[in-house]
């Protein structure tokens, strides 16, 4: 059974990127916001630290640009970096105008407290205690829910984009998407003048991640199948400090803990970061993650420790209430003892190739947020630039869509499942899922070698064939759709990693430990890619 919907704009994903562009568009266009789970389920809602922006007169646009370029290890696009940083103050003003409850500091120049994180030369991180993402998400959700021009489709997972060829108009590019209505177990057809991929990252391709379960690389995989280039997929940021505890799942300890004086230590209390980098705990994430990985392997440790217990207890409870409360539930009092931490897959710095208007290679298809490879993050994302990127490119994409909305496309044909049956062995999906994530963790982690990467590629290719066979013969399900996307995304990460014959930023290769004199993007072109699109 299939149903059909027609909108001006179809947005896939309900994080900060998806909700912000929905609000930018809804005053003039009818918008569908499609989300895999609930409206609040996204990586954005888990963001703790804050949003980087030039807000203080002691800071400057040039300093923020310089810090971003430094963290990005020579691979950031200078034009994109300047574009985002120059629009940072306006993005924060928009959020403040919306009512986001950022933490205040009455005696500061701005009236809000600014913190500092690794890689930043100034205090420029505006935040809402240690739950900034949740504060932003809650505020945007309230506006989205009350807007008459925004229809929310929860528990709908996109299966694939619909090309213009389906209606005999290939020049139209993307005309919408097919999605599985999970609650009613039926495929829905969404037709739209413009489609926006705001589907987030791909952390679940790894065994250990700070990402929510929904981060399965859906946007990248769908865009690749539709004919979009991807770039720099090898640069996976491992957050240095994910809470290590058997009952803790995907809980990260904010960058701001180190920014406010937290120290990384071995079990005997010895600091180790000064031996790895002059910036010590304030070094960028790739350096800190590699240092922790090195120390864990050197000493045979399951974790290291992040200690901020030297700060006043009341101050800690005020600045990090959620971290304090969550750790206390697990028997860890951060006011008295250090926090056990390990690195975990956290953020995809590459993604779908886009321009300054968030346009992809396929007409009428846009990508924003973590799914997009804008060029801002280069080889390593500077802390707290991600939410900023969501907001700036959400507005940029909205401006472009509003400037030429185009005529509505005819309704494409409904989803055809007449030649498939019900799956008889769902256990195959569970086994493939586990095997893929384990292989990525073992062979495509913080430190890489060509041999490990080739092993991963061989396993991914075998899994891809099995999953494609399953997809061809059985009706779609949530698990099958996600696994199909994960295996595509994993393959792109490995292919990019094998092409980079150097160590740069987040990609560290024992076979190529040196950094080449000239930084170059790794760009992959899919079989459907048409030069000149």
pLDDT in tens, 31-57: 999 999 988 777 666 666 799 999 988
Six token digits for residue 478: 């949530």
Active site residue 271: no
- Tens digits of per-residue pLDDT, 160-180? 999 999 989 888 999 999 999
Nearest residue to 352 via CA among 365, 335, 341: 365
Whether residue 242 has pLDDT greater than 60: yes
What is the chain's mean pLDDT, rounded?
92
Whether residue 276 has pLDDT greater than 70: yes
CB 370 within 8 A of CB 351: yes
Rounded CA gap, 245 and 340, in Å? Answer: 7
* Residue 369 DSSP class: G
Rounded CA gap, 456 and 449, in Å? Answer: 11
| Residue carrying the six token digits 């980087």 | 52
Rounded CA gap, 116 and 260, in Å? Answer: 7
Rounded CA gap, 10 and 8, in Å? Answer: 7
Whether residue 533 has pLDDT greater than 50: no
Strands (E), 16-149: 31-34, 51-52, 114-115, 125-126
- Residue 219 bridge partners (DSSP): none
Q: What is the dihedral of CA 124, 127, 130, 131, to 10 degrees?
A: -140
| Residue carrying the six token digits 């003003």 | 93
pLDDT of residue 385: 94
Rounded CA gap, 64 and 82, in Å? Answer: 9
pLDDT bucket at 2, cuts 50 / 70 / 90: low
Domains of the chain: 2-234+349-403 (3.50.50.60), 238-345 (3.90.700.10), 427-510 (1.20.58.100)
CB 47 within 8 A of CB 201: no
Rounded CA gap, 254 and 323, in Å? Answer: 8
Nearest residue to 52 via CA among 259, 288, 319: 259
pLDDT of residue 423: 62
Six token digits for residue 266: 């071995």
Q: What is the 3-state secondary structure (H, E, C) of 362-392?
A: CCCEEECHHHEECCCCCCCCCCCCHHHHHHH
Six token digits for residue 66: 């310089």
- Tens digits of per-residue pLDDT, 490-512? 999 999 999 999 999 999 999 99
Which own/partner pairs from 104-109 qualify as long-range (CB within 8 Å, at least 24 positions apart)?
Answer: 109/56, 109/57
Whether residue 209 has pLDDT greater than 50: yes
Rounded CA gap, 343 and 288, in Å? Answer: 9
Question: Which member of 116, 124, 231, 285 is catalytic?
Answer: 285
Rounded CA gap, 399 and 265, in Å? Answer: 48
Cα separations (Å) of 68 from 72, 280, 357, 378, 503?
A: 6, 18, 20, 9, 19
Whether residue 94 has pLDDT greater than 90: yes
- Tens digits of per-residue pLDDT, 349-394? 999 999 999 999 999 999 999 999 999 999 999 989 999 999 999 9
């Amino acid at each position: 059974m299939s149903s059909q919907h027609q909108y001006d704009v179809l947005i896939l994903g309900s994080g900060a990127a998806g909700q912000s562009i929905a609000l930018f568009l809804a005053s003039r266009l009818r918008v569908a916001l499609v989300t895999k789970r609930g409206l609040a389920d996204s990586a954005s809602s888990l963001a703790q630290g804050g949003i980087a922006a030039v807000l203080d007169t002691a800071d400057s646009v040039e300093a923020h640009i310089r810090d971003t370029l430094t963290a990005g290890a020579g691979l950031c696009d200078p034009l994109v970096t300047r574009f985002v940083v120059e629009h940072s103050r306006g993005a924060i003003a928009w959020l403040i105008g919306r009512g986001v409850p950022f933490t205040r500091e009455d005696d500061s120049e701005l009236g809000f407290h600014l913190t500092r994180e690794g890689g930043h030369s100034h205090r420029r991180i505006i935040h809402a205690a240690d739950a900034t993402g949740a504060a932003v998400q809650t505020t945007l959700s309230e506006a989205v829910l009350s807007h008459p021009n925004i229809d929310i489709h929860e528990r709908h997972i996109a299966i694939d984009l619909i090309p213009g060829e389906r209606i005999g108009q290939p020049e139209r590019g993307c005309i919408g998407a097919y999605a599985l209505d999970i609650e009613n177990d039926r495929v829905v057809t969404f037709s739209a003048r413009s489609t926006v991929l705001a589907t987030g990252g791909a952390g679940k391709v790894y065994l250990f991640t700070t990402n929510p379960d929904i981060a399965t690389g859906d946007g990248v995989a769908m865009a690749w199948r539709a004919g979009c280039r991807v770039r720099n997929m090898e640069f996976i940021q491992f957050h240095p400090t994910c809470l290590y505890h058997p009952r803790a799942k995907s809980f990260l300890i904010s960058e701001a803990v180190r920014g406010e004086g937290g120290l990384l230590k071995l079990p005997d209390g010895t600091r180790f970061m000064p031996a790895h980098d002059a910036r010590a705990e304030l070094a960028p994430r790739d350096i800190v993650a590699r240092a922790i990985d090195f120390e864990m392997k050197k000493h045979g440790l399951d974790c290291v420790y992040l200690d901020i217990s030297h700060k006043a207890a009341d101050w800690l409870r005020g600045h990090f209430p959620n971290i304090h409360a969550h750790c206390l539930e697990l028997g860890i009092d951060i006011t008295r003892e250090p926090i056990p931490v390990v690195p975990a897959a956290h953020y995809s710095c590459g993604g779908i190739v886009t321009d300054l208007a968030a346009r992809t290679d396929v007409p009428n298809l846009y990508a924003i947020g973590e799914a997009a490879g804008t060029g801002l993050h280069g080889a390593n994302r500077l802390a707290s630039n991600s939410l900023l990127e969501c907001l700036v490119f959400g507005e940029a994409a909205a401006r472009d869509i509003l400037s030429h909305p185009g005529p509505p496309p005819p309704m494409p044909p409904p989803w055809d499942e007449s030649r498939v049956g019900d799956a008889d062995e769902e256990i195959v999906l569970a086994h493939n899922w586990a095997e893929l994530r384990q292989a990525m963790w073992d062979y495509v982690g913080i430190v890489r070698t060509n041999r490990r990467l080739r092993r991963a590629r061989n396993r991914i290719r075998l899994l891809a064939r099995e999953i494609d066979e399953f997809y061809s013969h059985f009706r779609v399900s949530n698990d099958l759709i996600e696994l199909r996307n994960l295996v595509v995304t994993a393959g792109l990460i490995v292919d990019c990693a094998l092409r980079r014959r150097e160590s740069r930023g987040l990609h560290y290769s024992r076979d190529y430990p040196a950094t080449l004199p000239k930084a170059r993007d790794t760009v992959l072109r899919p079989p459907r890619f048409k030069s000149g699109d």
